[in-house]
Amino acid sequence: MTHAEVLAKLSEIVGRVVYHEVSLQSSTTAHDVKGWDSLAQISIVIFVEQEYKIRFRMGEVAATRNVGEFADLILRYRQKAESHA
Amino acid sequence: MRALARKITDLGTDLVKKSKSTRSFTEMMSLVALRKNFKDGPWKHPDAAEVRVALIGGYNVYPMQELLEHLLAMEGLNCKLHVGNFAAYASEILNDKSSLHAFKPQVTIVIPSDDSGAYTGGLADPIQTQRDAAHQAANSLLELCRTLHAKTGTDVILTNFAPSATHDLGPFRNRTLGSDWNFRRAVNLELGLNAPAFVQICDLEFLFYRAGALASRDPRSWFESKQPCSPDLLVDLSREFALTVAARHRAAKKVVVVDLDNTLWGGIIGDDGLEGIELGDTSPRGEAFKTMQRFILSLTQRGLLLAVCSKNEIQAAEEPFLKHPEMVLKKEHFVAFKANWRPKADNIREIAAELNLGLDSFIFIDDNPAEVELVRQLVPEVSSVLLPDDPADFVPFLQETRLFEVRSITAEDSARNEHYRINIEAKKLAAAAPDLKSYLRSLEMTGTIRKFRKEDVPRLAQLIGKSNQFNLTTRRRSEGEVLQVMADPDKRAFSVRLKDRFTDHGLIAILILDIKGDTAEIETWLMSCRVLGREVEEFCINEIFRIAKQAGAREVLGRYLPSPKNAMVADLYLRMGFTARADHFVRSTSDFHSYSTQIDSDQENV
């Protein structure tokens, strides 16, 4: 799983939650995407967790500064999950 | 173009179907997104009713509001939604100038947070203090509902409290009303029993139970975004809200039309005949169909009317109702009985006209996909239900269709009250434990003895095959051998059925007498242990002597053939006044006087 793959998947998920097509870059922030507010964030996190079968701790996602860092966080959790498997 | 249009319609139909069944949050949210891309859809009716729904409570109502709006759309409702601010619901209700009041809701959904159902006192407080607190907690919520209703006229859907999912407090949790576990349950009971008619309780406790409390609680989502439960349970909860709101706009269901073959019994009466159909305790399938019949009958207690619609000759269709001993449903339970070869849609229309009821108050149940599809197309107003393949699933499947639910039970549904009355009396009887005679008398038992009948053969063979304890001779017989007994001129073979005011125990004993000159030998005597202690033994012995006398016998001979399991009847004949001989017991018919029992005797052609 590469960083680019995670970005593509995130674009799909965010698009589904904010009801329009989006194309995310590493530097994109929630402010850059119409509709990506704190409410949409709730659904986006649930989608990501179910998609990747991971579970973030409280505050972890909120601490990421852009989509790239969010993707890094996802990748870290996946690697952890795979090393346990 | 036309192909494309059809494809879009199919997609829309698929969307509705999936939305009504999925229990996954992510799938549902994807469906929400899909719907928003549709300009039009099969769920959009030009004359769709508008409904003004307010969603308030001690939680963040996003993303629930998205789910609710979607599911209401799927129910064909045009919903205007007002959402409250997090945890401000009490002041929104009490303040006449709030946006909630200005919105003029028709339905207000109130989701109180856990803390309004929590006990703040100590675990060791007197029980009465805790009870009062539970009553108080429920009442203050209901009071808010009353206030809002009085000021805006809104109906209210109020969720109750979700159970905890952890073992906290351990065994002690059950010994005090002060534990979260018990206190919430007490508050929930108070809520349900005291809610006024305009308040519908949305049973969150049940939804947690059904989905599993561990999977439904989600502490992180509470701390992080003030969610009431796990994402997937949000789907269940929103669906309950949507169904409750939608039920206000639907005609109440009044008539249940059922097919016969493979719906009320297994097999086809016209082909298989009375002995061939599967019904009753003979087989697992027969038992499942009997259970199905019990469920259908129970619908009458909810105030629903029953009707039959079957493709059959009328004589064949009626035969089981008149002659089959295991039928739970009788002809008098049905307000209409259509057995003919005309299209079912025509028959259903005719029933509706006869009863002067709208077709949208009809439910149609059939096992045949073609019949169901035809009725769906020709009378779309009727809610048509296709039964699953396995009769084991019939009842739970029907219960999950949500079609048979009642909002309230009125005095008209007296049959249901009657049912409760009987249950309460049964409990009273058990609790009071009066002396045995008066207890047995109060059961109002009727014993029916009759000659073996062809349609009973499977059940007879089954009882002969499995009775071990109350079985004097343990002679096993196959169905074929039972038929041979019936054909034997020297044998008198009888079955005994027992009914009391609470239940029909069905076929519970078998007697086979062998008439040899002036001796009547009890060749087989066996009984189901379910009815021990009810004087059925005395009832049987009375019948044995009556039959023996009729056959001209001067004495009755009984044998006890010991088996590993039948010790309980080793001294049965001695208890019944027989004299022991070398390998048998005898009693003369002339000095026999009937035992008095509390079982009314009903002899059929004996």
pLDDT at B2 over 90: no
Residues 407-436 of B with CB under 8 A from A: none
What single letter denotes the amino acid at residue B606?
A: V
Q: Which letter, b or e, does each residue of B268-297 get, where b requires 16 or more Cβ atoms within 10 Å of its Cβ?
A: bbbeeebeebbbbebeebbbbbbebbebbe
Residues of chain B neighbouring A35 (CB-CB closer than 8 A): none
Comparing alpha-carbon positions, the chain B residue that sits nearest to A43 is B63
From its phi and psi, is residue B356 left (phi > 0), alpha (psi between -120 and 50) or beta?
Answer: left
ipTM value, please give it: 0.87
Structure tokens at B590: 């002339």
Across B386-400, B509-523, B556-570, least confident range: B556-570
For residue B162, what is the DSSP state?
Answer: P
pLDDT at B420 over 50: no
The answer to whether B264 touches B296, Cβ cutoff 8 Å, is yes
Distance to chain A for B527, nearest Cα, Å: 58
pLDDT at B8 over 80: no
Interchain proximity A42–B223, CB inside 8 Å:
no
Query: What is the CB-side half-sphere exposure of residue B475 using CA atoms within 13 A?
Result: 14
pLDDT of residue B432: 52
Across B55-69, B197-211, B453-467, least confident range: B453-467
Q: Which of B26, B33, B224 has its CB closest to that of A58?
A: B224
Q: What is the mean pLDDT of residues B272-283?
A: 90
Q: What is the mean pLDDT of residues B275-285?
A: 91
pTM to 2 decimal places: 0.71
Mean of pLDDT over chain A: 94
pLDDT of residue B426: 55
Going by their DSSP bridges, the two strands B491-499 and B445-451 should be labelled as antiparallel
Model confidence over B146-170: pLDDT tens digits? Answer: 999 999 999 999 999 999 999 999 9
B114, burial (CB in 10 Å: exposed 0-12, middle 13-18, buried 19+): middle
Q: How many CB atoms neighbour CB B13 within 10 A? A: 13
Looking at the DSSP assignment, which residues form a beta bridge with residue B266?
B278
Would an 8 Å CB–CB cutoff place A16 in contact with chain B?
Answer: yes
What are the Cα distances from residue B368, in Å, to B3, B170, B278, B327, B571?
30, 51, 17, 22, 55
Q: What is the mean pLDDT of residues A17-42?
A: 93
How many Å apart are CA A13 and CA A22, to the nearest integer?
9
Q: Which of A17, A55, A57 has its CB closest to that of B29?
A: A17
